[in-house]
Structure 1
């Protein structure tokens, strides 16, 4: 029944896997005693059921994202539950679900039919009559589940079921159908009663059977996402149209976890779980490897930080689960809070999480969902979650995209390609070499050019950098100009605005993929040291001490300079200069922070929706529709998105809305309105075509 290899030893061997899978996702789920209150947000609900629902929703979200992003179905996933209150304290959660579901060919059958099939597989076709006559539906279900955990028990049960059907058996059937509470009448068909009693004994001893099986699946092994998707579908545990558990779903999950409930809430062997994940990843040929940890971070078997170092080729996403109030859960951090004790689980999970750049997918996409990113330019893949929505969103946006770095997020069809294009346009922009005092023209033209590229279908097209630069030089000359004055006078002609901002706000603008014009001033002796520093160490970060104090008397050679702030990190700001590709690091230079260069000023250039013409707004919608049409086959989950009616405020699946691009009908209140949500527009369009 259990087709995957199972090992009971502490260090189960893992065969070297061929480099077939493009990606592998590992999920470590903490089910220890310290987690017992996590997500106990509604006292009317079973906290354990809520937590299991979170876990299964997380697994399903990742599995579906994998399937939707790739035609390659060899991508793999493994799920380890750690913190069981048994000797081995970890288990393969997918294998547990596999056991509960039973053999694939029996999963969708009614309990009686499943037992009959199981008996026939063991050559006992005669058992069908006994099964149907002596077991009610609940008894058949319980017995089937026990036998799923240990199929070796099937032959013993069959031996106690007599071959054929006697007249006494028929009398027994009449009696059990008519006598209140009577399973059998003492003295009738004693050999059949023996079979029934044995079946009852098996059900009563299910705890021992389950415990024995759990201890045999201590280690997790990867399975294909296609297999896991089918398993979850067979178990009928997840409602696709809602992230919240319905009452029926709640009952199904409760029924699922009842057999294993006595064996959870033990210690927290986090090191063991991470070490095993490291082994699985090490022998995988997957291109990308992502490990998601759902825990409160309270490790009982050592310091996970040291074990996590072995995962240097993998990306770790840590989710701190708590029932405590979190004022701002949709927020990534670059530094641990000073309020956290070093022994705090949050500190542990934060320390082992991976660091990523804010401007790179998938972190940059979080902004479109209202998440906050730190101004340093980098974030840790660590979140604090006290609701199912935060966990679901994290998996939907971050984990799925990390395993598919070349693909766009399904739920941001038009935004993601545009965001990627903006990032590529910013990254591919090459520093030009200025002639005379035209740094202002190079800086302003660069930022204008990139800002206008963010307007889809811009009326008049997207002016090229050289076109803008030459125009500015013709108007303001080659002997220098004040960049702020140029921005004031020329920006409105391109329907662009600007704000003068400090370093923190400049970093936030970069998080939104907006390069900035920057100006600074140096004395002559500082300019000499500035040039010398980058000639000798072109890739190093300039510090204030490298320039001196600039206290010399003003004179020839003093002056300001305009550049473009293109990127940031916690350790430096990266600028693009206009001194050609051979200067410094390919025309770019790094400065520790804004205080290093005197009078450093940043100008954030932007446009608003009010600045767009109707044709440009229409072009944006058309572009979104075009991308949706082209990507429908690749991303079939478009129609599973949720949309809130602007009138009744009830959320429904996008596929439930009727109408067209001009007018849509809410399936709940039948309110007619013009669609403005891009997801709804795309869904209605795809249905019409």
Structure 2
């Protein structure tokens, strides 16, 4: 039976019309060709801090990547498995719905050497689901066609060994369609199946020695070697061969392989996470899932290294992206290729981060360079040329140093390029590179300085909790949001009203007996060319990632306030949950009083909020709540857009942004060397040896406590950075993520 005949029949099953394998191919092809890209950049009116990002990952899967790291005894595919972790690291803490990603694997066995990693994973899932879900009995015509393919690939006696009717009993329709499709398109695979999974009897007539002896005896020993017999296989033997063959095809076929197509390559971060992790839930990428992903791509990787094709495809995608989208390309490779200078002009508006994989133990790991070394491999030199230059003064220095990395500062230019010789270093540079790249246009964040927490906590350290609950908390939260939002505007017309002035003005206008925080913000924000809007908890996540200020309010009864206060007195770093305080149990007649605070960050376990009761309360003025509904939290986002900025403010940012950045970075650069003289014992010690809180420091010499009266001074700054960079015992804090409340602000201050 040929394919034209096969295309003429249909099999009806209980679930309805069943497609034959040609229709299946056609349907998949049409679906892929007509599939719309998920790339949907934000409109021109989008908030200036929510333009989103487009990250392209170009990952080497060529034959040389099959070698393990120096000194490694890990299982097969160590580097390739780590590439999946690189993808997961890039998307793990990304909450913005308008951020997108595409992934190109280069060095595979496709026609042009490239494939779409995420699309291929998704396609493989769909293919296997079709096979596994179609459990009806195999159509006899498809089984006959499989026999024809196997016969033409070496099993010329397969129909003597068994019949299609017997084989049909051990094949589902899904398995038969899958096997025929893969065997027909890959004759080399079909030949391997014949030799690996079918008995020798299918390939040649095998002499039965017992029968041969009998015949030889009867004819007096006059026989020839051509006399032979053939024994048909038992059903159990046929079943075993079929099971072996299907398993072999599943393991070795290029299931799901899709060459890279720029028109449907871009995925949202959320969809990319679902595809990679294989679940709609926000689960971690497990070792089991990584192994499964490796088995999907293993049959078609380990080819040559055509990085040029991958670069051409990536440049086309970036060229068609909207101008207000932050564009980042991350390249991981260990191979040699043509001169990178020919590609440099293709990525003028793209931040390019490059990672060269080496098997040498003589490289300089965890370092960003400003000049290429003469002894580097040609592949390393080309990736260095391709990578972007970032002024050293704009790098998030404290974050980089804290994670054990260093960089050249002499020329005030650093290339986003690194040499690595183990998978963990590869993951680190990709995370750091994306973090740097996606924040280079946020110089205004520098103006939300270290004094963000120091200033507010010092200003409120003398206020009692009860006074705040019943009176002016709305003013503290509103003034915080307005003050810090204005601080983000470089060279703001009208200057920056101080926190106390804003707070006092609000109290004079709305009183000291409480006010509706959201109504206050809706009225006051417009006076300062700010905007505000009520948001849900997902909006909170997006705002925090965008480094914006979020105000939260909630109401508790007197009894609940007592529970609230007692909890944080006994567990300053604890996470309040419904097990401790359940507002659903309150009676309808109980009197409630409200409170307003500021949301600073979140982890997978809780929301983290900043109170206004001084840094002696709870965890240096911060507290943690498991979920928004524990306290019945309501949220308001305070922000500005480009439309709200004056022409002079926009001009000032362009002219002075770098200058202001260098001033703050200079402060941070000196923290490790600077000293401070205790005002009590007059002994000078290194800044890093002082401990304490944001408003009070303890001298390492006399152990006495004194006030950090100057907001933002280097002593308070160091105490602040030390406290926020230290993970809590139960926090699985990634210092490159936005998980810890301090790390969010820490990165914001440095970037």
**TM value normalised by structure 2:** 0.43
**TM value normalised by structure 1:** 0.46
